[in-house]
Structure 1
């Protein structure tokens, strides 16, 4: 087994999207090769309705897939194909924009006015950029959850893990998308296929990922003993951890435990031309998409 090194640890940056939704962006609109096949990751978490209720009004997508995972509150959605629905706590929507779709997403708070969710953009390979759009809506009760003997809990949104398979399938990037909770002081190792790019996003508690640059690739002695971690080695809320190559990661939870998303996928390794919500392979294809938007031919007839 080879331990994946930690290439980078960085805090998600506050930004604004849609009609004025305040959120935190872990990555996006920079170097698309960094986490290929993933393009963008947003944490839209807020307890002030005025900071999110204007939502994400009608906008186009082409050439990508969007994955929306709601933890609290609801997200109402509608699209140019006539689909409508609402995502509640624990629900997932995987939208393949393909040749083009117009949609809107409107978040609403829970009884206390708070909401929390994530959106991940996955790239599509050139051969699937113009595929027919489709949706996969998955309710919380359809997502398998596995609890190990040490209390580690994993919700499997897509991919296979610990003998269970997530309900979302047919995704170009062949991703593994896990919601992981590690109890206080527990050290745990997770396997990741070597060929995948991988990252973790911490959104609860704190902990440390073992770095292969340490002697023998192990935790410091006091960390192995379950004592309080050295504060400089810990990563907390809204932190992105980007991993190098290898086939496993090891994490040590801090004194309050930790919760994070562990996401990996097969790199596409193709040129990326990117303009807002449209991601193609060439500038000419971007220009064609803009022309299609302007002349009313962006939405392609179903075959």
Structure 2
């Protein structure tokens, strides 16, 4: 990587787990695991001895179990005071929550969960293929809720891959804008009203850019020049941004006022995540999945969870999976939603 920065590049930061983020984002994790074929319990048909089951975050044999002990994933856990944006590029996620909702999503689907006043949910990664590998690739992004929405009711929305717009930008390259806009590339999703993303001045944008070898995308300036903008180069051999060649996973902090910044895939296909937004400039007091404005309020929310479990968990397991069905769905009460 060259040492000279292009004028649009403010900083370069190597990627670790989780990825570094800027206000109004709180957290960004990229999960890529190649699970073996499935057993009868929707977990890996493999010997799990030697793993720190319950907290397995070291990639071994190409995958991690995370907090799962039989099925990989994250058994029932609380959240409050922010939103989770989950983009599943490959594999499946089984969602269950204390509001009584369930979902199986993947294959490019996007879940927007407003945790608000509090929710208890699980996110398991069921393995459905018993004869071949089970790859998983997803992002989970935490977006802070503004003070006005910290106590909004918890809710989740599913956006199926078939129903939101993907843009072909040049030949074999494409852009997926999950929320917000980049120039004339505008997301088809309307953010939840409680979200900071619902404010036009926030210029809150989440997008994934895929460039084929030798192809170029000119990144337009932000609509609100107070927005903080970061590109995350996470897949591929090398990418050129302006006149800087980057050949390692990297967060590239950009001047959002710079227009038509050239991004070129040099050696094979590359993928980059873009996170952008005007900072909230509000206090953040955080303890793991609890986010509040003050320390006193944080303690109140933790104690509330201990008393109520944010609606309670009535299932016999903290790590439920939704059977062998390969169709994706979202169920709220008696209503079931399908991608098409």
Q: When the two structures are superposed, what TM-score results if normalisation uses the length of structure 2?
A: 0.71
CA distance in 1 between counterparts of 2:134 and 2:207 reads: 27
* Alpha-carbon distance, 1:292 to partner: 0.6
- Matching residue within 180, 191, 197 for 1:169: 191
CA deviation after TM superposition for structure 1 residue 109, in Å: 4.2
Give the drift of 1:195: 2.3
Q: Equivalent of 2:12, from 9, 12, 20? A: 9
Structure (1 or 2) with the greater strand fraction: 1
Checking the alignment, whether the CA contact within 8 Å between 1:94 and 1:168 is kept in structure 2 is no
DSSP-derived class of the 1:181 partner: strand
Q: 2:288: which partner in 1?
A: 276
Secondary structure at the counterpart of residue 125 of structure 2:
strand
Q: Does 1:291 align with 2:303?
A: yes
Match of 1:131 in 2: 152
CA RMSD of aligned residues (A): 2.2
How far does residue 151 in structure 1 lie from its aligned partner after superposition?
A: 4.2
SS of structure 2 residue aligned to 1:271: coil
Q: Which residue in the other structure is 1:35 paired with? A: 22
Please tell me whether the aligned partners of residues 151 and 182 of structure 1 are also in contact (alpha carbons under 8 angstroms): yes
- How far has the Cα of 1:197 moved from its partner? 1.4
Instruction: Give 1:150 shift.
Output: 4.9
Specify the alignment match of 1:230 in structure 2. none
1:196-228 C-alpha deviation (Å, 9 max, x unpaired) = 111112232130222xxxxxxxx27xxxxxxxx
- The 8 Å contact of residues 57 and 105 in structure 1, kept in 2 or not, is answered as yes
* 1:223 equivalent in structure 2: none
Determine which of 230, 246, 270 is the counterpart of 1:258. 270
Q: Of 28, 34, 51, which aligns to 1:47?
A: 34
Q: Who is 2:331 aligned against?
A: none
Q: Which moved more, 1:188-197 or 1:121-130?
A: 188-197
For residues 3-60 of structure 1, give each alpha carbon's deviation from its aligned partner in whole angstroms, at most 9, with x where no partner exists. Answer: 87323323332xxxxxxxxxx3112xxxxxx610001000111113462333111111
What is the DSSP-based 3-state SS (H/G/I as helix, E as strand, rest coil) of the residue aligned with 2:30?
Answer: strand
Length, aligned pairs only: 261
Unaligned runs of 5+ in 1: 14-23, 28-33, 211-218, 221-232
Are the equivalent residues in 1 in contact too, given 2:33–2:136 (CA < 8 A)?
Answer: yes
Structure 1 residues 262 and 163: alpha-carbon distance in aligned structure 2, compared to 1, 3 A threshold: closer
Query: Is the CA contact 1:26–1:239 (under 8 Å) kept in the aligned structure 2?
Result: no
The unaligned stretches of length 5 or more in structure 2 are: 1-5, 36-43, 49-63, 66-70, 199-203, 313-340
CA contact (8 A) 1:108 1:115 kept: no
Q: CA deviation at 1:108?
A: 2.9
TM-score (norm: length of structure 1): 0.79
- 1:299, CA displacement in angstroms? 4.3
